[in-house]
Amino acid sequence: MADFDQELDASGLNCPLPILRAKKTLAGMESQQVLHIIATDPGAIKDFEAFAKQTGNELLDSKEEGGKFFFMIKKS
Amino acid sequence: MSDKKLAIIATKGTLDWAYPPFILASTAAALGYEVEIFFTFYGLKLLEKKLNVQVTSVGNPGMPMPMPMPVLLQALPGMQGMMTAMMKAKMKKKGVASLEELRSLCVEAEVKMIACQMTVDLFDMDSSNFIDGVELGGAATLFEFAGEADVSLFI
């Protein structure tokens, strides 16, 4: 069930790399496409909320499972 | 995208203090900010093509040490190099970006970097050793941008 268009594995990366990598990946995507991000940095939860709010890209989903964090971001 | 502006004055030339300007600049740029960093005094070291910055615990009682160590011992020759190597290894292990990577992300995001002309002259630095794109300027140059900035930081 690929309910996203691209995936970014930012596991093991620390602040601010997950955000910077996400920004870079989104830059190469089309409007309305969805990016799935995997991260292990606990700070990423708040950071992706803040990123979405400030860039206008929509945070569709944010969840934690087994020590990893998963985000779905729709490009504005 | 936002049209906010961030101005940073970077004055420190140690490994630890090199991080805040580049982390904040690259993140702000990712959020859509227009960013300018004004490098002055020891901060100029952060502009050199070959980054050579070190960290020391001397004069910094707040630095976490793997084992307690008297200050005089910390000041011995070779200790600074050892601390720098240890810090870099720890950063790598924790997935913290290298300074080189953060700086190149800033360059890529078109963060404007200004080298303070006065301190370049004061330290007899050769500005041809700086990375490409660095402009030289003075305090008035800084205020041209910082005067319009939404956030201004002195680091």
pLDDT tens across A19-59, in order?
999 999 999 999 999 999 999 999 999 999 999 999 999 99
Distance from chain centroid for Cα A55:
12
pLDDT digits (tens, 9 = 90+) for B45-72: 999 999 999 999 898 888 888 888 888 8
3-state DSSP helix/strand/coil % of chain A, to nearest 5: 30, 35, 35
Inspect the interface and report whether the beta carbons of B23 and A51 lie closer than 8 Å. no
For residue B129, the one-letter residue type is N
Sign of the CA dihedral with A27 first, then A30, A34, and A35 last: negative
Inspect the interface and report whether the beta carbons of A15 and B1 lie closer than 8 Å. no
Asked whether residue B85 is assigned to any structural domain, the reply reads no
**Whole-angstrom distance, CA of residue B129 vs CA of residue B141:** 21
Inspect the interface and report whether the beta carbons of A54 and B31 lie closer than 8 Å. yes
Burial of A54 (0-12, 13-18, 19+ CB in 10 A): middle
CATH of domain A6-74: 3.30.110.40
What is the set of active-site residues of A? 15
Location of structure tokens 């300074």: B99
Inspect the interface and report whether the beta carbons of A14 and B95 lie closer than 8 Å. yes
Residues in chain B: 155
**Whole-angstrom distance, CA of residue A72 vs CA of residue A48:** 10
Which residue in B has a C-alpha nearest to residue A41's C-alpha? B95
Asked whether residue B150 is assigned to any structural domain, the reply reads yes
**Whole-angstrom distance, CA of residue B84 vs CA of residue B63:** 12
Asked whether residue B81 is assigned to any structural domain, the reply reads no
Distance between A16 CA and the closest CA of chain B, angstroms: 7
Give the residue-averaged pLDDT of B146-155: 97
pLDDT digits (tens, 9 = 90+) for B66-96: 888 888 888 999 999 999 999 999 999 999 9
Which residue in A has a C-alpha nearest to residue B106's C-alpha? A20
Kindly provide the ipTM of the predicted complex, given to two decimals.
0.86
Residues of B in Cβ contact (< 8 Å) with A14: 94-97
Asked whether residue B105 is assigned to any structural domain, the reply reads yes
Instruction: Enter the pTM of the model.
Output: 0.91
Task: Give the domain CATH number at B144.
Answer: 3.40.1260.10
Residues of B in Cβ contact (< 8 Å) with A23: 30
Asked whether residue B114 is assigned to any structural domain, the reply reads yes
Distance between A31 CA and the closest CA of chain B, angstroms: 14
| Domain range list for chain A | 6-74
- The count of structural domains within chain B is 1
Which residue in B has a C-alpha nearest to residue A27's C-alpha? B30
Does the structure show a pLDDT above 60 at A75?
yes
Location of structure tokens 């970014």: A8
Inspect the interface and report whether the beta carbons of A16 and B32 lie closer than 8 Å. no
Asked whether residue B31 is assigned to any structural domain, the reply reads yes
pLDDT score, position B2: 59
**Among A24, A18, A27, which residue's Cα sits nearest to residue A49?**
A18
Asked whether residue B133 is assigned to any structural domain, the reply reads yes
**Under a CB-based contact definition with an 8 Å cutoff, are residues A10 and A48 in contact?**
no
